[in-house]
Amino acid sequence: MFYLSLFFQYASQYLKTRLTYRADTIIEILSDLLFQAVNLIFIVIVFRHTAFLGGWNRDEIIFIYGFFLVPYAIFSSFFNIWDFNDRYIVKGEMDRILTRPVHSLFQIILERIELESLFGAITGLLVMGYAIMNLDITLAWYDVLIFIVMVIGGAFIYAGIFISIATIGFWSDSRTDIMPMMYNISNYGRYPINIYNKVIQFVLTWILPFAFVGVYPASYFLNREEWYGYAFFTPVMGILFFGIAILLWNAGVKRYRGAGN
């Protein structure tokens, strides 16, 4: 309960700060929209020149992209941990975090929320809706529940990977550029996994399981039965990767000695 009320207080505080620079906030939301539109335009234009991409048609690919947007929006609203090393370790801010009465990871999540990213989820739902209409898919009532589970699983996978990488900061405070690299690798998950070679497929499934944020769970809703095994593994991977991240984080905090002075 305490965590929840704290969360809402931080969220309302955040909204106040964003509304100070109103024009900029609106432009930022629009630029997010633009970014999503660019990816959609890419798909639409590519399919002017081909009917299938690795056996998937245009609307299926659009659906996968729409699905991807939802867990990604949740991830980028609540897990802005990509600059953890610079912001918290190097600047010594971690000392302050550790004096706070909540779990250190939760405190950082609170401080770094970016609620406007949630608009991406709406875009995602609209994009999926468009694809579903074209694809003539019928959804059962329980599909909504499965959708929620899949989305949470996907967001947890993202969060797990990025938190795990952030914990490197506890062991080494030298600058690494793994974070931006991860963002680029994560783009691979938006397209059908079968277009990549075997090594990349393996990496995207088991090591950096970004395929579980896009193509695998989406294939459940697209009735692609050959991928069902993977699709239902999404929440398991989410819990697994998030769990590993928490363990790494706690181990890292225990090891943390401050950045000096």
Partner 1 sequence: MSMYIEMIRVRFLMMLAYRTNYYSGILIYSINIGAYYFLWSAIYGGKEQIQGLSVAQMTTYVAVAWMARAFYYNNIDREIAAEIKDGKVAIEMIRPYNYLGMKTMQALGEGVFRLLFFSVPGMIIVALIFPVRFDASLTTWLFFFISLVFSFIVNTHINLLTGIMTFFLFNNSGLIRAKRVVIDLFSGLLLPISFYPDWAQTLMSYLPFQAISYVPSMIFTGGFVGQEIYKALLSQVFWVVILLIPIRLLWSLAKKHLIIQGG
Determine if 23 is a binding residue for partner 1 (CB under 8 A). yes
Q: How near is the Cβ of 51 to partner 1 at its closest, in Å? A: 9
Q: How far apart are CA 242 and CA 220, in angstroms?
A: 22
Rounded alpha-carbon distances, angstroms, from residue 50 to 47, 136, 147: 5, 21, 30
Instruction: Give the integer Cα–Cα distance in Å for 136 and 97.
Output: 50
Shortest gap between Cβ of 184 and partner 1 (angstroms)? 5
Residue 139 touches partner 1, criterion: CB under 8 A: no
Scanning 2-10, 16-24, 136-144, 210-218 for contacts with partner 1 by CB under 8 A, the matching segment is 16-24
Site track for partner 1 across 30-69, x = CB under 8 A: xx--xx--x--xx--xx-xxx-xxx---------------
CA–CA distance, 246 with 172 (Å, rounded to integer)? 18
Return the residues of window 166-195 that contact partner 1 according to CB under 8 A.
175-178, 180-181, 184-185, 187-188, 191-192, 195
3-class DSSP assignment, residue 47: coil
Q: Which is nearer to partner 1, 52 or 228 (CB)?
A: 52
Q: State which residue, 9 or 31, has the beta carbon closest to partner 1.
A: 31
Q: State the Cα–Cα distance between residues 244 and 261, nearest whole angstrom.
A: 32
Q: Of the candidates 10, 130, 196, 232, which one interacts with partner 1 according to CB under 8 A?
A: 196
The least CB distance from residue 87 to partner 1, in Å, is: 16
CA distances from 156 to 44, 69, 75, 168 (A): 29, 14, 8, 19
Q: Provide, rounded to whole angstroms, the least separation between the CB of residue 162 and partner 1.
A: 16
User: What is d(CA 147, CA 137) in angstroms, rounded to the nearest whole number?
Assistant: 14
Q: What binding mask, one character per residue, do residues 199-228 give for partner 1 by CB under 8 A, x or -?
A: -x----------------------------
Judged by CB, which is closer to partner 1: 124, or 189?
Answer: 189
Find the helix packing angle between 142-166 and 178-186, rounded to 10°.
Answer: 160
Minimum CB separation from partner 1 for residue 42, in Å? Answer: 6
The answer to whether residues 69 and 121 touch, using CB atoms and an 8 Å cutoff, is yes
Decide: 230 and 208 in contact? Cβ < 8 Å.
Answer: no
Instruction: Tell me the two tokens of residue 222.
Output: 């697209």
Site residues, partner 1 (CB under 8 A) = 21, 23-31, 34-35, 38, 41-42, 45-46, 48-50, 52-54, 175-178, 180-181, 184-185, 187-188, 191-192, 195-197, 200
